[in-house]
Amino acid sequence: AALKTYQFDVQVKNVSRLCHSKPIVTVNGMFPGPTVYAREGDTLLVNVTNHAQYNMSIHWHGLKQYRNGWADGPAYITQCPIKTGHSYTYNITITGQRGTLWWHAHIFWLRATVYGAIVILPKQGTGFPFPQPYKEANIVLGEWWNNDVEEVVKQGNKLGLPPNMSDAHTINGKPGPLFPCSEKHTYALEVEQGKTYLLRIINAALNDELFFAIAGHNLTVVEIDAVYTKPFTSQAILIAPGQTTNVLVQANQVPGRYFMAARPFMDAPVSIDNKTATGILQYKGIPNTVQPVLPQLPALNNTAFALSFNAKLRSLNTAQFQASVPLKVDRHLFYTIGLGINQCTTCLNGTQLTASLNNITFVMPQIGLLQAHYFNTKGVFTTDFPDRPPTPFNYTGAPLTANLGTKLGTRLSKLAFNSTVELVLQDTNLLTVESHPFHLHGYNFFVVGTGVGNFDPKKDPAKYNLVDPPERNTIGVPTGGWVALRFRADNPGVWFMHCHLELHTSWGLKTAFAVENGKDSDHSVLPPPTDLPPC
Ligand code: C2O
């Protein structure tokens, strides 16, 4: 195990895309930001210095941060923001994890431009459970706005309407030649005929689940969210914001130029967004004058593809990699996901869009919840988040326009240390059904079941996969359906859980778990670091 140090200078830089130039917030002037490399067992010290006129905090998405939420990063959940001119060192020990994860700003919408890959190699002397690839590459998918992103959000909130969609999708920060002025902003991956490549694909987009494919080449999925899977081959993959997917690609076609492409999966009837980002898979020695062909991507609303793709994901489930799926459940939680409309006096038409879990719209606190939990500060949050919705209803029946009396609150659920938890997330037809990618900080969970319609507590558990369920940190709750997740609450602290569509997070689609300490100091939250940013 090694100690690795990184310096992250948060600074504003002018970047041009789509014929426009604008200042964006970056790390070290890079867009996307630098890749963090580590090996399983290493400790990372990432010193973040904020030179920008924005508050900042960085989240290490998918790293478990055992007993050490202080290094997790979500602003006002585990720390206060790093203010202009200040620094904070994230002290991260990587235990029991290897694979692809990513880091991103976790405050307002700044992750629009502040993000990068985390590559954790297996321990020295340990290989992958698949043939060693010849080379590897990061494919970080994102979005680009011509306007200042924070302004786009403020505008939307003021008018009580959803903020504008982005102007482009991007591959490694580049939209590709289907967009104006973007010939020179095209990502290209050079490959050699006959070799195998490992692609580490990350969805860093703010609001879009994406399909990704490469013309003429199959993708073999081998890992999701830094957990190995049983390999399977597919023409395209589906990846939700927050998720990571490693695929193997064989350069086994006629040497040429092939487009790789990413385009949204949009199943909510309200939004149409078909912007396609492209990059190029370029065989060595082929001139740039050869015109590439586009891959076939599933249609925008191809829910059948989404369901069948997700159903193919299975944990490797070998003795070496299997973490144990909880077979017995101590605590059953059932959370409904609802969109809705609230009154708003400052909004143009007197209403604004909102979102809730079990009818609770989460209100961000003024100081970090982890500090309040650790120091037992009263009046910051309550631990009375309901285990189930106040009034059961036909969740996925006819559309409901009422918001069923959504209540505002900073309400958490308290979990006993080491208890086993089953959480069913149920989409509802409040306003509209929609797929929601839910992310839990501090943990991986096992996706033991999923289905369309209403979860049936009598029949559905009998169909659970308790043998090789996928293990991950972000899961797309299917449109008008449900997922059942299980995890062991063995990581004490306060852990955020939210929809990874930034729009929905802003509307309040979030909550947190307060996981109690174990019986001794070795199973308790570590003391806060001395440089933890004050509020
Ligand atoms: Cu990737 Cu709470 O976020």
Rounded Cα–Cα distance for residues 65 and 441 (Å): 9
223 Cα to the center of ligand 1, angstroms: 19
pLDDT-derived band at 270, boundaries 50, 70, 90: low
Write the DSSP assignment of 117-167 as a string of letters: EEEEEPPTT---SSPPPSEEEEEEEEEE-SS-HHHHHHHHHHHTSPPPPPS
CB atoms within 10 A of CB 455: 22
Over residues 48-86, the pLDDT tens digits come to: 999 999 999 999 999 999 999 999 999 999 999 999 999
Residue 271 has a pLDDT of 60
Q: Is 504 in the pocket of ligand 1 (CB under 6 A)?
A: no
Residue 434 has a pLDDT of 86
Rounded Cα–Cα distance for residues 42 and 38 (Å): 6
Over residues 172-210, the pLDDT tens digits come to: 999 999 999 999 999 999 999 999 999 999 999 999 999
Instruction: Classify each residue of 324-337 as buried b or exposed e, where b means 16 or more C-beta atoms within 10 Å of its C-beta.
Output: ebbeebeeebbbbb
Q: What is the mean pLDDT of residues 424-432?
A: 92
Nearest ligand 1 atom to the CA of 441 is 2
Nearest ligand 1 atom to the CA of 241 is 1
Q: Is 73 in the pocket of ligand 1 (CB under 6 A)?
A: no
Q: Is 242 in the pocket of ligand 1 (CB under 6 A)?
A: yes
Rounded Cα–Cα distance for residues 185 and 175 (Å): 6
Q: Is 111 in the pocket of ligand 1 (CB under 6 A)?
A: no
- The CA-based angle 54-510-45, given to 5 degrees, is 50
Residue 152 has pLDDT above 90, yes or no: no
Nearest ligand 1 atom to the CA of 242 is 1
499 Cα to the center of ligand 1, angstroms: 9
Q: Is 373 in the pocket of ligand 1 (CB under 6 A)?
A: no
521 Cα to the center of ligand 1, angstroms: 28
Residue 130 has a pLDDT of 95
439 Cα to the center of ligand 1, angstroms: 6
Strand partners, 153: none
Residue 55 has a pLDDT of 97
Rounded Cα–Cα distance for residues 15 and 12 (Å): 9
pLDDT-derived band at 163, boundaries 50, 70, 90: confident
Residue closest by Cα to atom 3 of ligand 1: 61
- 430: amino acid identity, one letter: L
Residue 272 has a pLDDT of 67
Residue given tokens 């967009």 in the structure block: 179
465 Cα to the center of ligand 1, angstroms: 26
336 or 154, greater pLDDT: 336
Q: What is the ipTM of this complex?
A: 0.99
Residue 39 has pLDDT above 60, yes or no: yes
Q: What is the mean pLDDT of residues 12-34?
A: 97
Instruction: Classify each residue of 263-302 as buried b or exposed e, where b means 16 or more C-beta atoms within 10 Å of its C-beta.
Output: bbbbbeeebeeebbbbbbbbbeebeeeeebeebebbeebb
Residue given tokens 């609150």 in the structure block: 409
Residue percentage of the chain with pLDDT more than 90: 84
183 Cα to the center of ligand 1, angstroms: 32
106 Cα to the center of ligand 1, angstroms: 7
Q: Is 75 helix (H, G, I), strand (E, B) or coil?
A: strand
Q: Which domains does the chain have, with CATH numbers?
A: 1-126 (2.60.40.420), 130-315 (2.60.40.420), 331-523 (2.60.40.420)
Q: Is 74 exposed, middle or buried (0-12, 13-18, 19+ CB in 10 A)?
A: buried
Rounded Cα–Cα distance for residues 535 and 526 (Å): 20
Rounded Cα–Cα distance for residues 356 and 403 (Å): 9
Could you give the C-alpha distances from 130 to 35, 127, 243, 311, in angstroms and in order?
23, 8, 21, 21
Residue 159 has a pLDDT of 72
Could you give the C-alpha distances from 393 to 352, 358, 389, 430, 458, in angstroms and in order?
24, 12, 9, 11, 16
Over residues 503-530, the pLDDT tens digits come to: 899 999 999 999 999 999 999 999 999 9
61 Cα to the center of ligand 1, angstroms: 6
Q: Is 472 in the pocket of ligand 1 (CB under 6 A)?
A: no
Residue 280, both tokens? 């190029």
User: Which H or E run includes 36?
Assistant: strand 36-39
Nearest ligand 1 atom to the CA of 498 is 2
Residue 471 has pLDDT above 60, yes or no: yes
On whether the CB atoms of residues 249 and 195 are closer than 8 A, the answer is no
Q: Is 74 in the pocket of ligand 1 (CB under 6 A)?
A: yes
347 or 398, greater pLDDT: 398
Strand partners, 400: 430
Residue 35 has a pLDDT of 98
Residue 323 has a pLDDT of 61
Residue 269 has pLDDT above 90, yes or no: no
Q: What is the mean pLDDT of residues 2-31?
A: 97
Residue 320 has a pLDDT of 61
Rounded Cα–Cα distance for residues 295 and 358 (Å): 41
Handedness of CA 78, 514, 314, 501 (dihedral sign): negative
110 Cα to the center of ligand 1, angstroms: 12
Over residues 351-364, the pLDDT tens digits come to: 778 899 999 999 99
